[in-house]
Amino acid sequence: MEDGLIIDLYFERNERAIYETDLKYGKKLIGISKNITESNSDAEECVNDSYLATWNQIPPTRPSNLFAFLCRIVRNISYNRFHMNTAKKRNASVSSLCEELNALIPDPNAVLPEEENLGKAIDRFLRDFCDKENRMLFVRRYFYADSLSDLAKMTGLEEAKLSLRLHRIRKKLKIFLEKEGFTV
Amino acid sequence: MNDRLFKSIGNIGDDLIEEAEESAVKQHFRNKKRKKATILKFMPLVACFAIIFCMIPVAFHTVNDNYSGDDLNGVETSEYPGNYDGLTLSKVIIHQKNPGEVDKVFTDKRILQKVELFIQSEHSMKKTGIPFRDIHDILADDFPTYDIPSGGSENCDPSTVFYVECTFLDGKTYSFCVSAKGYYWEEKLSEWMILANSPIVSYLANLISSSEE
């Protein structure tokens, strides 16, 4: 079903909207959640929670891109779940993701501008300073939280090469963020 | 851990999220791989065409060119009428400077071979693209005993100058002038020039001198 029709179902408060959403995007959303939580059961719960959140947000929100909208919700919910689960025991994969990103800002305790501003700056960087391929790799790794091995399977590139490319992108991003005044 | 940085990546544009959707990424890299494979696949074919394309003018030149002394100025090695692997000269006639006065006709293979080497040598020198004047200066340093004239033809003894007419097996001819001292008359520059491999020039000069006797 077309995204517009699914959104219409949400506006009509028709529960079939959730069924259609799950049919179309369920597997992809579980994949993202699983990348973050590293647990099948947690991923399923997060996706269900994200459907509820979507149900609550539409209406009044009418997302221009339903898939991106759902991805953001499931990503946030999964990340919160990850935090809850790892209050005592840290999740290795997401920890490593955050450590990689941590290197971009010298002082992790520094007061950062609002997430939205930082997000917009990263968006600008990806559009203006990265080619399509590097942009895809960065978003796959840090938005979709894909592991390097998954990314290697997806692209056909070697893990070592991917790692090097991502390292270079992060290095460029760090310089960009410093110029934009995001460092202390 | 920088939670906010990780979270803030969630605020990138919808189009960027969609662009990096799994199937789109797979498709992009698959296309790239296919494009690369296609280029590699057609490389030998392109190389073959390039070789054939380069060979066509060579073939036409070999068939159509008339090898006069003037033609040799600036021509490529491939246009050279002689075969480097074997003798292609059938006859060498040596005249005085005036082409009408025949001094001697050579058909002896040993002499023909030497003359052919001489022509090849001159041709190789031209292939390097070094102007005759520079060659002249270089050789003047390397072979001071040749006593190369500095000013031009006025320093050469006209009695030691000969006109050499070579006839190839296919009937085409190539002509040039040479002096007994190892210089030859460059028609286009109207100057006396020394040739690249002086020992052969020397041989030819001796050959001419002996033919004079």
What are the φ/ψ torsions at residue B74 (nearest 5 degrees)? Answer: 80, 5
Partner B contacted by A176 (CB < 8 A): no
Partner B contacted by A12 (CB < 8 A): no
Q: Which residue of A has its CA nearest to B31?
A: A155
Neighbouring C-beta atoms of residue B60, cutoff 10 Å: 10
Q: What integer is the mean pLDDT of A152-175?
A: 87
Residue A94 or A54, more confident: A54
Q: Which amino acid is at B86?
A: G
Residue A6 distance to chain B (closest CA, Å): 18
Q: What is the DSSP string of B41-74?
A: HHHHHHHHHHHHHHHHHHHHHHHH----TTTTTT
Residue window 80-109, chain A: list those with CB within 8 Å of chain B: 83, 94-95, 97-99, 101-102, 104-105, 108
Q: What integer is the mean pLDDT of A147-172?
A: 87
Share of chain B above pLDDT 70, in %: 32
pLDDT of residue B78: 34
Q: Which of A96-105, A162-171, B49-58, B152-161 has the highest mean pLDDT?
A: A162-171
Q: What integer is the mean pLDDT of B113-128?
A: 61
Radius of gyration for the alpha carbons in chain A, expressed in angstroms and rounded: 18
* pLDDT tens readout for residues B17-67: 888 888 888 888 888 888 888 877 777 777 877 777 766 554 443 333 333
Residue B33 distance to chain A (closest CA, Å): 9
Q: What angle do CA A11, A65, A93 make, to 5 degrees?
A: 115
Q: Which amino acid is at A2?
A: E
Query: Who among A108, A123, A157 is closest to B12 (CB)?
Result: A123
Q: Above 60 in pLDDT, residue A109?
A: no
Q: Which of A70-79, A124-133, B109-118 has the lowest mean pLDDT?
A: B109-118
Query: A181: left (phi > 0), else alpha (psi -120 to 50), else beta?
Result: left
Between chain A and chain B, how many beta carbons pairs sit less than 8 Å apart?
119
Chain A hits for B17, Cβ within 8 Å: 65, 67-68, 71-72, 139, 143
* pLDDT tens readout for residues B66-92: 333 333 333 333 334 444 445 667 777
Q: What is the ipTM of this complex?
A: 0.80
Q: Do B26 and A154 touch (CB under 8 A)?
A: yes
Q: Which of A5-9, A34-38, B4-8, B173-177 has the lowest mean pLDDT?
A: B173-177
How far apart (Å, rounded) are the C-alpha atoms in residues A128 and A123? 9
Q: Which residue of A has its CA nearest to B34?
A: A156
A72-105 b/e (C-beta count within 10 Å ≥ 16 → b): bbbbbbbbebbeebbeeeebebbeebbebbbebb
Share of chain A above pLDDT 90, in %: 8
Q: Name the band, by pLDDT with cuts 50, 70 and 90, for residue B193.
A: low
Query: A112: left (phi > 0), else alpha (psi -120 to 50), else beta?
Result: beta
How far apart (Å, rounded) are the C-alpha atoms in residues B208 and B213? 9
Q: What integer is the mean pLDDT of B129-156?
A: 42
pTM: 0.52
CB within 8 Å of A165: residues ≥ 6 apart: A134, A137, A157
Q: Do A143 and B19 touch (CB under 8 A)?
A: no
Over chain A, what is the mean pLDDT?
Answer: 82
What are A110's two structure tokens? 């520094």
H or E segment and range at residue B163:
strand B161-168
Q: Which of A129, A68, A155, A161 is nearest to B15 (CA)?
A: A68
- Bridge partners (DSSP) listed for residue B192: B185
What are B139's two structure tokens? 């050789």
How far apart (Å, rounded) are the C-alpha atoms in residues A9 and A3? 10
How far apart (Å, rounded) are the C-alpha atoms in residues B9 and A139? 8
Q: Above 50 in pLDDT, residue A80?
A: yes
Q: Measure the CA dihedral A78/A79/A81/A86, to 10°.
A: 140
pLDDT of residue B1: 38
Query: Who among B15, B28, B33 is closest to A133 (CB)?
Result: B28
Q: Name the band, by pLDDT with cuts 50, 70 and 90, for residue B6.
A: confident
A50-53 — which CB contacts under 8 Å span 24+ positions?
Answer: A50/A74, A50/A77, A51/A18, A51/A21, A51/A22, A53/A77
Name the pairing type of β-strands B191-194 and B183-186: antiparallel
